[in-house]
Amino acid sequence: MEEDDDKSTKYVIFGKDLSKIPCFRESLMYGIGGGFAGGLAGFFITSNIRRANNFGMGSYILTTLVYWCKCRYDFTKTKHDVSMLQSAIERKTLYEGTPLEKEMEGKNPLDLKTV
């Protein structure tokens, strides 16, 4: 029965599981909220249902795309920083207990190149 629950929560489009894509859920949630707020504001301003629908759809698309770009940028930047830190830690452990360790003590480990 537990396996059935896992299969029912999988959303696969074009062979990709949507729950595994970073920032996907958050982008859609912020987009839905932005679209609702934009549509409601458009209706209060114009009192025209068709124009309010256009405002809502436009703000949904705009909010989703802007949040997706920002979130993916932050995700990529964090991933790159973690990669750099991991390689610095590997170099630090490689040189531990050698004469090079004393030379490296005062330097920034991220600036060091592999010897």
Per residue in 66-99, pLDDT (tens digit) is 999 999 999 999 999 999 999 888 888 887 877 7
Q: Give the residue among 26, 28, 10 at the shortest CA–CA distance from 18.
A: 10
Could you give the CA distance from residue 37 to residue 51 in angstroms, rounded to a whole number?
Answer: 14
pLDDT band at 108 (very low <50, low <70, confident <90, very high): low
| Residue 94 pLDDT | 82
Could you give the CA distance from residue 21 to residue 16 in angstroms, rounded to a whole number?
Answer: 8
pLDDT for 115 beyond 50: no
Could you give the CA distance from residue 34 to residue 41 in angstroms, rounded to a whole number?
Answer: 10
Could you give the CA distance from residue 27 to residue 24 in angstroms, rounded to a whole number?
Answer: 5
Better-predicted residue by pLDDT, 48 or 111: 48
